[in-house]
A and B are shown apart, each in its own frame.
Chain A
Amino acid sequence: MADRDRAARPGLFAQWHRARRADGLALRRALPDRLLPLLVAAMAVLAALALAGATGAQILSARWSSGAASMLTIQIPDPEAPATAKTTPPLTRADAVLAALADTPGAARVHRLDKAELATLLAPWLGQQNDFALTLPAIVELHMQAARPADADALARRLAATAPGTLVERNAEWGERLGRLADSLHSCALLAVAIVVGIAVVLIAATTRAGLAARRLPIELIHAMGATDGYIAGRFARRTALLAFIGGLAGSVLALPLLVLLSRVAAPFATSATPPPTPTADWATGWTTLAHTLPTPLVATLLALAPAAALIGWLTTQATVRAWLRTLP
C-alpha cells in the first residue's frame, strides 16, 4: 500500500515510478531477450567491414580508372629533326608534336620529360650518366580529363602526319582491368551487406515470434480488451529498436579499430600523395587523425550503423507482430 502512496513519492521519482507502472500491460517480459543486442552488434561489425570493403573498392576503382587510364605516353624518335609541315619559323618534330597535343580536345596536361627525368627513367638500363652519345627519343606524357577517354588511335594518326614514326602508347589496359576488379569487389561487398541485413531481418522476426509465443495469454487478453494492433506492435517495435540501436552502437565501436587498420593498409593504394598518419599515443590528436584516416563515406557509414539497425529492427518487428495479431479476431 505504501508503495502506492503518491504523497510519499514527489517529483521526479514519482514520475519515474508512474512511467514504470505504465508498463502494467505485462508486455515487458514478452519483449525480445537480451541476446538481441549481442547478435546485432556482431552483424553490425560484419556490415561495417563489408561496407568498408565497398567504400574502399569504390575509391580504388575511381583512382585506378581515372589515374593510369587517362594517361598516354608519346614517344617521338629523332626529336630535334625538322618537322614535316613547313612553318615559319621551322619547328622541330618534338615541338610540332607538342603544339599538336596542346590543342587536343580533353587534354588536361601535356608534359615533356626533361633530361633529368629521362635519365631517371633510363637509369636501370643505361646507368647514372648524363651525356648520351645517341639521341634519345622525346617522351611526352599526355594526361586526359577523366571524363574524356583518350582516342589513342586517332591521336596516333594525327601525330604521324606531323612527325612520322611517333608512337602513342596507352596505359589504360591495366587501369581498366584494375577498375573492373574494384567494381566487382564493390558489388560483392554490397551483396555481403544485403545478406547481413537479410539475416538480421530473419533473426529479429524469429526473436519477436518467440516473444509473442511466450506471452500469448497477456497479448490475447489485452487484444480482447481493445488494444489496437498498432499499439501492441508499437510496444514491441520500440523495444526491439532500442535493443538493435544499442547493438548497432556496440558494433560500430568494435568495428572502428578494424577499419582504421584496414584503411592504413589500403592507404598507399588509394593515395600516393599523403602518407598515412603515424599512430599517436595522445588521445586528442588520436581522434582527430582518426577522422582523417577513414574516408568520409566510411565515417558516415559508421555513424549510420546504429540508426540503421534500429530502423531495421523497428520495421521487422512491426511487420511480424501485425502479421501475428491478424490470427486473432
Chain B
Amino acid sequence: MIRLRDVGFRYDAGGANGTSAPVALRQLSFEVPQGGFRWLLGPSGAGKSSLLRLLALGARPTSGMLEILGSDIGHASRTALARLRRRIGVVHQDFRLLPDLPVFDNIALPLRLQHRPEDEVHDEVHAILDWVGLASRAEARPPQLSGGEQQRVAIARAVIHRPALVLADEPTNALDEYQANRLMELFRDLSGLGTTILVATHNDALIRRYPAHELELAQGRLVRNG
C-alpha cells in the first residue's frame, strides 16, 4: 500500500553558489493498493525517476505525507527505513550494478542483506539466472555484458527477494520485444501474488499490449490518474 498526500520534492541546492535546483515534484496525491499495478508516464524530465526515488526511500519528501507499505516515512527511524528498503525492489534507469562483482554476487545482494543461508542464496540466484537466460554468465562482470543483459541482471536483483513493492524505471528500454513481454508476464504474476508494482516507461507499444491503470506526470504534477 502506497499513499501520498500533497507530496512535494526539490533536489538539494546545487552547492556553494546557493542556487537551488528546480522543484521536481509538486502536490502529488494518490494511492496504490497492495497488489496494484501502475504505469508511470510522462515526458522526459516530468519527474518519473524522482517519484520512484521517493518511493524507494532514496530521499525524503520536501513536503507532504508519504506512506510506504503502511509506514509513515516522516516519522520512521533510520533503522525502520532500512527495514522497509529491504522489502522494496528497484530497477534503476541506469541499472546500478556493481562493476567489480560477478553477476552472481550482484543478484545475491538483497538475499545476503537478509542474511539468508548461502545454500539458499545459491539456489535462488541460479533459478533466477535461468529465468533471465543468463545461466552461463554467472561469473561475468557487468561491464562484459550487453545493455540488455545488464538490464536483465538489474531486473533479477530487483525481484529475487520477493519484495512487497517493485519500482521499475524504464525496465524494458534495452530489452527486445520477447524479453519485454516475459517481464510483463512476470509483473502480472507478482501483482497477482500481492506485490505492488510501478513501472515508468516511454514504451507506447508495451502500454497498448498491457493496458493498466496509468499515473501521468507533467512538470512534476500528476495530470492523470486512471
Contacts and interface: CB of A to CB of B under 8 A. Distances in A.
A218 B108 CA distance: 14
Q: Identify which of A3, A24, A225 gathers the most chain B CB atoms within 10 Å of its CB.
A: A225
15 contacts: A1-B135, A4-B104, A18-B118, A22-B112, A26-B105, A29-B100, A222-B109, A224-B56, A224-B57, A225-B110, A226-B82, A226-B86, A226-B113, A228-B79, A229-B78
Contact of A4 (B58, B60, B112, B126): B126
B59 A329 contact: yes
A227 interface: yes
B213 interface: no
A26 B82 contact: no
Nearest to B100: A26
Main secondary structure of the interface of B (DSSP, over half): helix
Contacts of B112: 22, 24-25
A247 B141 CA distance: 35
B113 A221 contact: no
Contacts of B85: 224-226
A329 B101 contact: no
A304 B86 CA distance: 41
Contacts of A1: 135-136, 138-139
Interface string B57-100: 11110000000000000000011011111111010000010101
A4 B122 contact: yes
Q: Identify which of B78, B136, B139 gathers the most chain A CB atoms within 10 Å of its CB.
A: B78
Contacts of B58: 224, 329
Nearest to B96: A221
A25 B109 contact: yes
A217 interface: yes
Interface of B: 56-60, 78-79, 81-88, 90, 96, 98, 100-101, 104-105, 108-110, 112-113, 118-119, 122, 126, 135-136, 138-139
Q: Identify which of A21, A24, A221 gathers the most chain B CB atoms within 10 Å of its CB.
A: A24
A41 to B, nearest CB: 30
Interface of A: 1, 3-4, 6, 18, 21-22, 24-26, 29, 217-218, 221-231, 329
A196 B178 CA distance: 65
B84 to A, nearest CB: 7
Contacts of A22: 112, 118
A218 B84 contact: no
A224 B88 CA distance: 10
A115 to B, nearest CB: 85
Nearest to A5: B122
Contact of B119 (A6, A225, A229): A6
Contact of A3 (B60, B83, B87, B139): B139
A226 B83 contact: yes
A225 B160 CA distance: 12
Contacts of B101: 24, 26
Contacts of B135: 1
Nearest to B119: A6
B16 to A, nearest CB: 16
B112 to A, nearest CB: 6
Q: Identify which of B58, B109, B126 gathers the most chain A CB atoms within 10 Å of its CB.
A: B109
Contact of A26 (B59, B87, B98): B98
Contacts of A4: 104, 122, 126, 138
A7 to B, nearest CB: 11
A224 B113 contact: no
B60 to A, nearest CB: 6
Contacts of B139: 1, 3
A19 B135 CA distance: 23
A261 B139 CA distance: 56
A24 B116 CA distance: 13
Given A1-B138, A6-B122, A225-B110, A21 B84 contact: no
Contacts of B108: 24
Nearest to B158: A225
Contacts of B119: 6
A180 to B, nearest CB: 53
A228 B82 contact: yes
A225 B106 CA distance: 12
B105 A21 contact: yes
B78 A225 contact: no
Given A21-B118, A224-B56, A329-B59, A217 B98 contact: yes
Given A21-B118, A222-B109, A229-B82, 20 more contacts: A1-B136, A1-B139, A4-B122, A4-B138, A22-B112, A22-B118, A24-B109, A24-B112, A217-B96, A221-B109, A223-B82, A225-B85, A225-B109, A226-B82, A226-B83, A226-B84, A226-B88, A226-B110, A228-B78, A329-B60
A24 B57 CA distance: 23
A65 to B, nearest CB: 55
Nearest to A19: B118
